[in-house]
Amino acid sequence: MKNIFNKILIVLFISSLAVGCMDELEKEPIGLLTEDIIDNDLALVTLEASVGSIYQPLKNTLNGVIPGWRWDLGTVFRNDIVLQDIAANDMNKKWNPDGDQPWMDEVGNYTFTPENQAFNGIWVYDFIGVNRANLAIGFLSDAATVQSAGMTEARKNQLLSEAHFLRAYYYFDLVNNFGDVPLISATPDSFEEALAVAIRAPKEEVMAQVNSDIALAKSLSSNAKYPDPTEPWRVSKGAIIALQAKVALFNENWSSVLTSITELDALGNYSLNANYFDSFNADMEFSDNEVIFAYDHRSNETPNNTNGLNDVIGWGFFAPTDDFVAAFEANDPRLLYTTTADPDDKRSFKIIGSTTDRIDYGNRVFIRYADVLLWKAEALNETGDFTGAVDIINQIRTRARTSATADGSIVPPGTLLDRPASTDTSEIATWIMSERRVELGFESHRFNDLKRWGTAKAVLSDLGRNFQDQNYLFPIPQRDIDKSGGTITQNPGY
């Protein structure tokens, strides 16, 4: 039992040193293992809770991971929406500048410094996820612990699969945002070891760990769409394979992208929904065909597990830029689902999960099949299958123009016509880029897309943003550099 508590204290120490949140030492995040649920032999409920806690840094619940209104730390909610949609100039912080939370404006204008809390926020969330995954993997990899808890082999494998996937997911996000980051793949046995890992590892080394985790997660998972039908939010083999394809995409390993998507399709679990909004409709969660990986927000739970972005939207946050609205072709039904484009009606149905009443539990969708299909189109285009790439683009456009509209209007004939046949790689790539922007708008993919395409500087400079070459990576949070005594170094240009 003493060893267990030592490991938990070390996890909290790492969360303070390498994550940069001093509150972690004073108050354990919701869901982290605590003394009242630990006995001499780890109980089954404890092992289950150790994995359940890894999911929580994915949530958008206000103060759902770091308690308290810590706007100064950027941890009130998970801020992918700031680092992806605002940074990419698809979204402004508000309809009218009012001085509220200016750090978000600084991200959009590229006037930020390493002290900006946006970077601290995502660093905190991701590393808390990593540290919780390490703790759970350590427990579940100990045969005596698992046997003592009375856990079945099948359940142990599924939980280990989830933990390895989630660690890979968090580290993939960290690398995309920051490049080289501290690589912590196991809970250290001493504070000396914890200090030793508070240095940045080359991103290639981190990505090797990501790929290793994905491979192990896949080997341990069943082929079921929902490995645990009573908790359909858990990581599935489909989510694991999709992440494997996404990692290959970001590395421009086109053949591996296609191989993974073929493997995903062979599961027979996913397809485009008939209607565009079905992926976000709170009444259809875990019954649609398209969502592959999502965080399960729910109402009426303690601790709070609602979608806090609904409240933030109600406070006037997250307005579309004119350039984003102009990216939609005439009468495209996806625009009204993504944003009302009306300052008197501050909603994004995709975020709140309803086109009628404002609700508080819409799931956060991380990967859906339309996204995967557009990865496939990109890989096909890059490998010379132009017909296949255009066919996929037209699948996406067909579904959009045949979807029910948010306001009940009829989509006029001639809306979103099919793209014609082409053998021009650049032309098809432009179509894919355009389709990704409108299909996946406000889903926190855009800035990563601009970076991996190498177009971020050109696109954002043309829009008057102060984007510089160093901005392809965000700065390491200054508070973490300071806490490490300089062992964690800063990215060039900051």
Structural domains of the chain, with CATH: 1-79+99-221+464-494 (1.25.40.890), 237-453 (1.25.40.390)
Structure-model confidence comparison of residues 217 and 14, the more confident one: 217
Rounded to 5 degrees, what are φ and ψ at 116? -60, 130
Burial category of 16 from C-beta neighbours within 10 Å (exposed 0-12, middle 13-18, buried 19 and up)? middle
Range scoring the smallest mean pLDDT among 27-41, 264-278, 437-451, 464-478: 27-41
CA distance 343 to 341: 7
- Match 């896949």 to its residue by tokens: 218
Structure confidence at residue 346 as a pLDDT band (50, 70, 90):
confident
Reported as a single tens digit per residue, the pLDDT across 360-384 is: 899 999 999 999 999 999 999 999 9
**For the chain, what percentages of helix, strand and coil (3-state, to nearest 5) are there?**
55, 5, 45
Burial category of 199 from C-beta neighbours within 10 Å (exposed 0-12, middle 13-18, buried 19 and up)? middle
Task: Look at residue 27 in the predicted model and tell me its pLDDT.
Answer: 37
CB atoms within 10 A of CB 229: 10
Res 12 pLDDT > 80: no
Q: Rounded to 10 degrees, what is the CA torsion of 285, 288, 290, 296?
A: 10
Res 193 pLDDT > 80: no
CA distance 223 to 434: 33
Tokens standing for 288?
């649609």
* Helix ranges restricted to H, 95-226: 102-109, 117-140, 143-149, 153-178, 191-196, 203-220
Burial category of 476 from C-beta neighbours within 10 Å (exposed 0-12, middle 13-18, buried 19 and up)? buried
CB atoms within 10 A of CB 283: 9
Helix axis angle for 254-266 and 237-250, nearest 10°, is: 170
In whole angstroms, how large is the CA radius of gyration of the chain?
22
Mean pLDDT across 390-418: 96
Reported as a single tens digit per residue, the pLDDT across 288-319 is: 999 999 999 999 999 899 999 999 998 999 99
Structure-model confidence comparison of residues 26 and 327, the more confident one: 327
Range scoring the smallest mean pLDDT among 66-70, 119-123, 251-255, 446-450: 66-70
CA distance 298 to 363: 8
Burial category of 185 from C-beta neighbours within 10 Å (exposed 0-12, middle 13-18, buried 19 and up)? middle
Reported as a single tens digit per residue, the pLDDT across 388-400 is: 999 999 999 999 9
Mean pLDDT across 335-346: 88
